Amino acid sequence: MEKRVYDLIDSYQDDFVHTLRRWVQVPSVKADAAPGAPFGKEVRRMLDMALADADAMGFQTRGFDGYAGDITLPGGEDTVAVLGHLDVVPAGDGWMVEPFAAVMKSDKLYGRGTGDDKGPSLCALYAMRAIKEAGIPLRKSIRLILGCDEESGWEDMDYYCAHADMPDLGFSPDASFPLINTEKGMIHLYLRAPLSTEGLQVKRLWTGERVNVIPGECTALLAGGEELAQRIRTYAIRVNLPYTAEVGAEGVWVTAEGIPGHSAYPEGCRNAIGMMLLLLKELGVQGALLTLADAVGMESDGASLGVAYTDEVSGSLTCNMGILHLEDGELTTTLDMRVPITADLESLMNTALARLTGFTADVAETKAPHHVPADSELVTALLAAYAEETGEAAKPQYTGGGTYAKVLKQGVAFGAAFPDDEDLAHQAGEYVFISKMVKATKIFANALIRLAGA
C-alpha cells in the first residue's frame, strides 16, 4: 500500500479517538419508536452524528428515514460495500467504568459499542478518508452502509434494500480477522407457558433483555424461609457454582452468578438462567420451569433438546436461553440457536418444540446460513490485504455470529478484532486498543484499494 495512505491514517489518530468517544457517548440502544426514529431517539441521534461527521470529511451521504444511512466515495459504476452498525446492546451489569462515558486508559478505550460495532465502522470511514485524501484512483465506488437495527431484527436492512440498490460484493467489519466466509444459520424462538401452581413456588423472576446475550446474573424470589435458603447454600457448595440465598419478608431471594457473553460464542461463558433452572429443579419446581431445566439447563449444544449437530464446514450448533420472565402467572423465554450450514432449520425447530411440551412458540426470526467460497476473488483479496499488513498468512474461518455480510451476494465478515483479542462483544467492560484500531484501518484501506482501486 502507498506510504501516503499509511501516513494519513497515522495522522488521523487523535481525531479518530475524539470521534469514537463522541459516538460511544450516545447510548444507541433500541427503544420505542418515535417520529423519524424507528428504533428510538438515541439511535437516530447516533445515525445523524455519523452522517454529519462524514459530511464534514467531504463524502456523499444519504439518510433513510432513521433506518440506515450510507457514505459514498465515488469511483466507477460498480460498488464495493462495507456494512457496519451503530446500534448497541444494553450495557448490562458488571462494568467497572460507566459504559457510555468512553473512558480512556492508556491505549484502551472502554465503552459499549467500542468493538461492536462503532469502532470498526469508524475504522472503515477513516480508511475511506485516507483513500480519498491520498487521491488513490478508483475503478469502483466504495459505500459504507450504517445500519441501526443489527442487534435486533434487521428491519434496517429490509428498509435499506427496499429503498436503495444493495451492492453485490463487500464485507462487514463486525467480527474478527483474518476473515469469516461462513456464517451459521440462526433461529430465534419466543416461548410462553403458564407457571405451575404445584411444587416449589417462584414468586418473581425477571432476567435478560436480549435474545442474543448470555445473561450473567439471574435473581428469583422463592416461597420459603431459612430452611430453603440453607438447602440452596448446600447445593451451591456441592455443585461448586456461585449462588447466594437471603431470607426476606416475602421469601428467599436467590441469585445465580454466571459469566455473560454473546450467544454465538458460549465457550468460556456460563448462563445464569441455566444455573437458576437447575437449582429450581433440585428444589422441586414443577411444570414449565422443570421442562426448561430438563430440555436446556446449562447446555449450550442443544443436546437435551435433540438438536445437537455438527458439520466440517461450520462446526457445532449452539443454543442460548437469553430471557426468562415471569409475569401474571406466565413464563416467557427465548432460545437463540446458531445452526451449521448443512442442517435443516425447520427440522431442528420441530424437534426442539417437541421437547418443550406445554409451551407455545413464536418464531421471531430465522436467517439462512451464508457461505462464500474460499477461492473467490473477494476472499483472496481480503486475505492478501491482511497478510500484507500483518505478515501473517491465514485461512478463512466460520462463525456462529451473524453479520450484515449475509445481505450481500458476495459478502464476508472481515475484522476488526484480531485473533489474540479478548472477545468482549455484548459483555461488561467492552474496550478496544486504539493502536489496533489504527492497524485495522490500514488493513481496511489496503483491502478497499485491492477491491476498488484502478
DSSP string, 195-225: PPSSBSPEEEEEE-S-TTEE-SEEEEEES--
Residues 60 and 138 grouped into a single domain? yes
Q: Which residues contact 349 (CB under 8 A, 6 or more apart)?
A: 187, 189, 363
The enclosing domain of 122 has a CATH number of: 3.40.630.10
Long-range contacts of 17-23 (CB under 8 A, 24+ apart): 17/104, 17/109, 17/434, 19/53, 19/122, 20/102, 20/109, 20/114, 20/118, 20/119, 20/122, 20/437, 21/102, 21/104, 21/109, 21/111, 22/49, 22/102, 23/49, 23/50, 23/86, 23/113, 23/118, 23/122
CB 352 within 8 A of CB 366: no
The pLDDT, as a whole number, for residue 401 is 80
What is the tally of structural domains in the chain? Answer: 2
* 416 upstream amide cis, omega within 30 of 0: yes
Q: Phi-psi category of 429—alpha, beta or left, where left has phi over 0 and alpha has psi -120 to 50?
A: left
Grid look-up 429503498 returns 163
CA distances from 129 to 51, 186, 383 (A): 14, 35, 22
| Domain boundaries, position 32 | 3-183+370-452
Please calculate the CA angle 385-72-176 and round it to the nearest 5 degrees. 35
Please report which helix (H) or strand (E) contains residue 47, including its range: helix 41-56
- One domain for residues 27 and 79: yes
Residue 244 sits in a domain whose CATH number is 3.30.70.360
Q: Which pTM value belongs to this model?
A: 0.79
334 and 249: one domain?
A: yes
Nearest to 43 by CA among 148, 140, 139, 113: 148
Q: What is the mean pLDDT of each run of 10 residues along the chain (454 residues)?
A: 93 98 98 98 98 98 98 97 97 94 97 98 98 97 98 95 97 97 94 97 95 95 98 98 98 97 92 98 98 98 97 94 97 97 94 96 87 95 97 91 92 96 90 98 98 95
Q: What is the DSSP string of 331-360?
A: EEEEEEEEE-TTS-HHHHHHHHHHHSTT-E
The C-alpha cell 490500514 sits at: 442
Residues 144 and 191 in one domain: no
Nearest one of 454, 450, 438 to 171, comparing CA atoms: 450
Among 342, 367, 392, residue at a domain's last position? 367
Instruction: Name the residue type at position 285.
Output: V
pLDDT at 223 (0 to 100)? 98
Q: Are 244 and 256 in contact (CB under 8 A)?
A: no
Nearest by Cα to 292 from 240, 357, 336, 228: 357
Residues 105 and 23 in one domain: yes
Q: 235 and 293 share a domain?
A: yes
Q: Which domain-ending residue is among 326, 343, 367? A: 367
Say yes or no: 361 and 398 in one domain.
no
Q: In this structure, are 356 and 403 located in the same domain?
A: no
Position 137 scores a pLDDT of: 97
Partners of residue 72 on adjacent β-strands: 60, 143
Do 106 and 221 have their domain in common? no
- Are 36 and 176 in the same domain? yes
Give the per-residue pLDDT at 209: 87
Q: Considering 339, 367, 395, which residue would you say is the last residue of a domain? A: 367
What pLDDT is stored for residue 92 in this prediction?
87
Q: What are phi and psi of 168, to 5 degrees?
A: -85, -30
Q: Enter the C-alpha cell of residue 404.
A: 450484515
Please tell me whether residue 73 adopts helix, strand or coil conformation. strand
Same domain (yes/no): 48, 169: yes
Pairwise CA distance, residues 451 & 202, whole Å: 57
3-state class (DSSP) for residue 411: strand
The verdict on 318 and 235 lying in the same domain is yes
pLDDT of residue 4: 95
CA dist., res. 269 & res. 266, Å (int): 5
